[in-house]
Structure 1
Amino acid sequence: MSAVVSPGAPGERLSRACVLAYGSGDVGNNIVHAMGMIFLLHYYTDVAGLGAAVAGTVLLAVRLYDAVVDLVIGRWLDSRSANARGERLRPFLLWGVLPLLLNVAVFSVPAHWSADARLLYAVISYALLGTAYSLVNIPYGALISAMTQDSHDHARLGAARSVMSILTFVGVSLLIGLLARVEGFGLQTTLTGAAALMAVLGYLCHLACHRGVRERVARKQPAIDWRLSLRTLRGNRPLAAVGVAAVLALGGASASSASLIYYARYVLGDGASFPWLILPATLLGMLVATPLAPRLAARYGKRQSFLAGVLCAALAHAVLFAVAPAGLPAAAALLGLGSIGLNVAMICLWALEADTVEYGEQRTGLRLEGTNYALFSLMRKLGFALGGAVPAFLLAHSDYVPNLSMQGPLATLVILIAVGLFPALCFLLARLVIGLHPWSGLQTP
């Protein structure tokens, strides 16, 4: 075997404090992630003054670069030796201040610079943020498999991560809803200050995670070269299916998230309604799905629970598009229903990814937490790249005019597509990928 549970802990389940500590680490990660998913496209087009097509190209190019960086960092992690305390991943939590500070820079594009200079600043600052984020997030994600080999604990850790992720999304969304009421130069100044305060909070959460978790699964294998890593991953077909499903599910989810502020301002005609859309789209799903998903997974299996959840999300977004323009109550209800389904699906998908590490070890004797998670993260970044670019390119090929209260009919239509129809199609395709894949040999029905 290439991994053993640390002495003194065989069969021991993770404590609730340990699970909560692990989840707290995702607060720091998701301050960066949430601001990028929810607000960065709108910031670039309506505050920094970049054209929609230019903003979409920046998001697509940098997120594709991030995806490659994730794989390189994951491979590097698997080639590293443990430190004197037997840890390879946990120490990187202390680096969490880097992406949080760079996030402040990303949302501080100098307004007085020329268009070319602002574009260059946006590309460089966002690329540096992506690199620093990967240096923290890849080890953090891989910690699940290094903390325990128990499939049920994988699900608990995935649920804790989802809870903290959604709570952070809610907090950031509420803050953005307040910031959206500030106009002119004051918005940029206020946004920079808010990002700095969130950086302090995020790093405190990284420190709490570092203090509360331990790597209990010790590796017993030599350094692994690139060719052996790739050969091992090629044989891990469940990981490939989970990765493709992540591209599709997160592509749809991120497209909807990035477009909601446009939906609030230009379809509903009231930017102040944005928090009332994002709350059911995030908080309601978390509150219902977090206790529901582990129970569904225990009774019906992670795969079947994923299929049910993602179908629910697809139907809700399809109806949101079909009944447009829906009023605020109807839109909030449909987004809430979609959020419940999507959160059930993503909690199960996180647990399935952790199970693929065990599957790969069973087949090859090699345990590749870092590379496994990095490949999964690469696919997630492809999803985020897709979800961030599609709304931007749709806007660019419509009659959209930034900050114009009454948009043209084509601009309104593409916003509805980005919020409703496109996510629904992505969710259905993700369901098809997981539903058609054979799962023999994996620790899940």
Structure 2
Amino acid sequence: MVTARLKPANKKLKKFNEIESPKLKFKEKLAYGFGDLGNGLMFDMGQIYLLLFYTDILGIPSAVGGLVFLVAKFFDAFVDTGVGTLVDNQKNFSKRGKFRPFILYGSVPLEILTVLIFISPDISETGKIIWAFGTYLLLNAAYSVVNIPYGSLSASMTINADDRTQLSVFRNLGSQGAMFISGIVIIPLVSLFPNHAIGYPIAVGILAIAGVTLHMLCYKGVKERHTIERPQVKGLRRKAFFNLLKNRPFIILAIYTLLTITALFLQQGAQLYYYKNVLGFDNLIGIVSTLNFIVLMPALFLTTFLSKKVGKKMTAVIGVSGFIIFQIVNFSLFSEQIVLFLIFNTIAQLFLVIPNTVTWAFIADVVEYGQWQSGLRSEGIIYASYSFTRKISQGLAGFIPGMALTIIGYVPNAAQTPDTIFGLKILFFVVPAVICLVAVILFFIAYPLTDQKHKQIVKELALREEL
């Protein structure tokens, strides 16, 4: 009888210890980061190079190429929700875990589709348009099958706040590393081939193979410790969605992310116009990308330091606030002085890395909040809904610059008027700063989940034996 009583108590004590003390080793956090590095070496190829491939190699109109991306975002809304529901509703999952098998079995189809979107078949223009839509929609579906379980994985790996921040750091390092690698490797590889229609699929295929290898390292290197089989009850999916709408931390986080990611991608979309027409340097993007990558590691270390000192919420607030300050200073004083612009822009980007990193740790926290509030754990639905929020941000960030360029009177390949130059400055500096200001005020006032409150929640879940 004594043993029967002690077992649950010891189990709860073990969970309490994990809540208080970090558990994950460096190699497991590194393996988790490999997952997003692998994601980036496949899916990011489409984000960076595909529109250029569509217009210059495949030979379809640019408007149609843009429509492919727009349709894909709406398509993702249904795919992401379906995958999230599938992940949450699993029963009798194997020793491999609840999330890891999706990485294992989904990686190779994602690799194949990554290459297929860069193949230019010798068919009619209508056939090429159908090919572009079909292959890119399938790529997005394959990416959701891998990425949503991958994003949900961190909540099952650890319930410790510091561990989760570290996982976010390694994930962002993997993501930024993929952007850097693809940015410096693809074009030189493609240029080795006189026929770029051959060069693109080969170059992309090389990185996609590396991506699969990294996915396998992630699969082998991480461990699920807190996976729960959802009870099979009629109407559970509907209940999960209604619970999501009642999850205040998730709603605030989703709005905050919608705003900050829109600001980030909006600035990225406007930067080429700003560099060319205001600073007079078409190729400045290479220098800016290199400087941003150089400050990535200091930014990630700063994220970890601040998170331990002031908690994740205030870390995000400090990061966004720093970005706003340096954006406004750069706009007011150095918008046409290239050296000082580069210095202040790099510092602003360093601050912006901080909230983009710590955000992934918030997702794992709101999973437990929702479970504590409703008794239902829904990692897949929560991450799928959050993923869709980020995709809406990408769509808005593509739409806003296009409309703004028309409003300010931008004329391609021509000398711009002073009003247009000023408009480009507003678009690059002020609009992202104002969007971020709204985001940080909302988040500071309305986001209720501090690290201390989250710690209390997971202790209660442990007492209820729901972890």
Which category describes the TM-score, using the shorter chain as reference length? 0.7 to 0.9
What is residue 383 of structure 1 aligned with on the other side?
A: 393
Q: CA RMSD in A?
A: 3.5
Question: Could you say if the C-alpha distance between residues 171 and 239 of structure 1 is closer, same or farther in structure 2, counting changes exceeding 3 Å?
Answer: same
Residue range with higher mean Cα deviation, 89-98 or 214-223: 214-223
How far is 1:437 from its partner?
A: 0.7
1:357 pairs with 2:357: no
Secondary structure of 1:217's aligned partner = coil
1:19 pairs with 2:19: no
* Structure 1: unaligned runs, 5 residues or longer: none
**2:39 and 2:211 in contact (8 A); partners too:** yes
What is residue 278 of structure 1 aligned with on the other side?
A: 289
How far is 1:101 from its partner?
A: 2.8
What is residue 243 of structure 1 aligned with on the other side?
A: 254
Q: 2:384 and 2:446 mapped to 1: Cα distance?
A: 21
What is residue 82 of structure 2 aligned with on the other side?
A: 72
Matches within 5 A, 1:105-254: 105-109=116-120, 113-114=124-125, 116-175=126-185, 178=188, 186-219=195-228, 221-223=230-232, 225-254=236-265
**2:35 and 2:214 in contact (8 A); partners too:** yes
Residue range with higher mean Cα deviation, 158-167 or 186-195: 186-195
What is residue 383 of structure 2 aligned with on the other side?
A: 373
Matches within 5 A, 1:212-361: 212-219=221-228, 221-223=230-232, 225-261=236-272, 263-264=274-275, 268-281=279-292, 283-319=293-329, 326=336, 328-361=338-371
Q: 1:396 and 1:190 mapped to 2: Cα distance?
A: 35
* Structure 2: unaligned runs, 5 residues or longer: 1-8, 457-467
Aligned match of 1:83 in 77, 93, 112?
A: 93
How far is 1:236 from its partner?
A: 0.8
How far is 1:161 from its partner?
A: 0.5
How far is 1:151 from its partner?
A: 1.8
Q: 2:267 and 2:360 mapped to 1: Cα distance?
A: 20
How far is 1:266 from its partner?
A: 5.8
What is residue 102 of structure 1 aligned with on the other side?
A: 113
Q: 2:229 and 2:330 mapped to 1: Cα distance?
A: 51
The TM-score, its normalising length taken from structure 2, stands at 0.81
What is residue 60 of structure 1 aligned with on the other side?
A: 70
Question: Could you say if the C-alpha distance between residues 263 and 438 of structure 1 is closer, same or farther in structure 2, counting changes exceeding 3 Å?
Answer: closer
CA offsets 1:251-308 (integer angstroms, 9 cap, x no match): 2212333444555556555554322111223x14421221111211221221111112
**1:146 and 1:216 in contact (8 A); partners too:** yes
1:420 pairs with 2:418: no
Q: 1:82 and 1:262 mapped to 2: Cα distance?
A: 54
Q: 2:332 and 2:369 mapped to 1: Cα distance?
A: 41
Question: Could you say if the C-alpha distance between residues 208 and 57 of structure 1 is closer, same or farther in structure 2, counting changes exceeding 3 Å?
Answer: same
The TM-score, its normalising length taken from structure 1, stands at 0.85
Question: Could you say if the C-alpha distance between residues 211 and 440 of structure 1 is closer, same or farther in structure 2, counting changes exceeding 3 Å?
Answer: closer
**2:55 and 2:62 in contact (8 A); partners too:** yes
How far is 1:429 from its partner?
A: 2.5
State the AA in 2 paired with 1:234: L
State the AA in 2 paired with 1:144: S
How far is 1:235 from its partner?
A: 1.7
**1:109 and 1:122 in contact (8 A); partners too:** no
**Structure of greater Rg:** 2
Residue range with higher mean Cα deviation, 293-302 or 128-137: 293-302
Aligned-residue sequence identity (percent) comes to 27
**Which structure exhibits the higher relative contact order, with contacts defined as CA atoms closer than 8 Å and separated by 6 or more residues?**
1
Q: 2:347 and 2:361 mapped to 1: Cα distance?
A: 22
How far is 1:176 from its partner?
A: 5.5
**2:43 and 2:114 in contact (8 A); partners too:** no
State the AA in 1 paired with 2:308: A
**1:82 and 1:88 in contact (8 A); partners too:** no
State the AA in 1 paired with 2:321: L
**1:53 and 1:396 in contact (8 A); partners too:** no
State the AA in 1 paired with 2:144: S
Question: Could you say if the C-alpha distance between residues 171 and 323 of structure 1 is closer, same or farther in structure 2, counting changes exceeding 3 Å?
Answer: farther
CA offsets 1:141-166 (integer angstroms, 9 cap, x no match): 00001111222211111111011111
Residue range with higher mean Cα deviation, 126-135 or 391-400: 391-400
**2:87 and 2:149 in contact (8 A); partners too:** yes
What is residue 437 of structure 1 aligned with on the other side?
A: 446
Secondary structure of 2:227's aligned partner = strand
Q: How many residues align?
A: 436
Question: Could you say if the C-alpha distance between residues 388 and 259 of structure 1 is closer, same or farther in structure 2, counting changes exceeding 3 Å?
Answer: same
Q: 2:187 and 2:329 mapped to 1: Cα distance?
A: 25
Question: Could you say if the C-alpha distance between residues 184 and 16 of structure 1 is closer, same or farther in structure 2, counting changes exceeding 3 Å?
Answer: closer
